[in-house]
Amino acid sequence: MAILILPVGRIEPEIIDDLRGDLEREFGFKAAAGKAVKEPVFAYDAQRGQYNSTAILYSIADRPDIFDYERVVGVAGVDLFASGLNFVFGEAGSKAAVISLFRLNESFYGRAEDRAILRRRVLTEAAHELGHTFGLGHCTDPGCVMFFSNTIHDTDMKGPYFRGECLRRLLDFGVIIDQLGGFK
C-alpha cells in the first residue's frame, strides 16, 4: 500500500517526516512525502473563520501527482469544518484524506506544546481517515482508532491502532501487513 503524504500549505517538515516513518513502521505501508501544495485559500469560509475540509479533499484528489499512489493524506495547518459540524479533525473520500493539525496542538487547549503527544495524535488521525478510505466505518470500541473523536480526549484515548473486527478486516484484505504496536 503506497501512501503519499501531502503538506497543505506550510507545514513543519519534521511533522510530515515523523508521520511518514510512523505509517511505515506501524502498519507496513510504503509512505512518501510529496511537495507542499498551496495554502487552501479557496476553501476559506470568512463567516466561520475556518476552512471547508471537503473542498480541500477534492482539490487533493484531483492532483495528477497522486496517481502513482494508492492513497493520499493531506496534512493541513488550518482549522477545518464540514457541513453540519462545528469542526473536523479530518475527512476522507475513497482515495484521498485530509487531516488538520490545528486542534492537535496542546497550545490549542492552553497547555504547553508537547511533540510526543502531537506526533501520536497526527498518526491517530491519519490512521483513522485512512481506515475510512479502506472502507471502514466508525467503531463502537473507544480503544480502536476507528472510534469517532468528538474531542481531543477521544483521540488520545483511542490511539492509532485498529482493533478487533477493524483490524481483522484490514489484515484479511491485505491492506496492512502488520500492526507492530497494536496487537492487544
Residue from the set 23, 98, 123, 139 that interacts with Zn ion by CB under 5 A: 139
Between 16 and 139, CB nearer to Zn ion: 139
Mark residues 156-175: x for contact with Zn ion by CB under 5 A, - for none: ----------x---------
Q: Which stretch binds Zn ion (CB under 5 A): 35-43, 60-68, 105-113, 135-143?
A: 135-143
Stretch that binds Zn ion, among 48-56, 75-83, 110-118, 139-147 (CB under 5 A): 139-147
| Window contacting Zn ion (CB under 5 A); options: 3-11, 46-54, 141-149, 171-179 | 141-149
Cα separation, 169 vs 183, in Å, equals 14
Closest distance to Zn ion from the beta carbon of 159 (Å): 12
Sign of the CA dihedral running 125, 129, 135, 138: positive
What is the C-alpha separation between 35 and 121, in angstroms, rounded? Answer: 22
User: Using CB atoms within 10 A of its CB, is residue 152 exposed (0-12), middle (13-18) or buried (19+)?
Assistant: middle
**Contacts of Zn ion in 24-63 (CB under 5 A):** none
- Is 129 one of the annotated active-site residues of the chain? yes
Return d(Cα 1, Cα 101) in angstroms, integer.
24
Determine the Cα–Cα distance for residues 170 and 146; give it in Å rounded to an integer.
Answer: 12
Which of 154, 164, 135, 162 shows the shortest CA–CA distance to 28? 162
By annotation, the residues acting in catalysis are: 129
Query: Which residues of this chain interact with Zn ion, rule CB under 5 A?
Result: 139, 141, 144, 146, 166
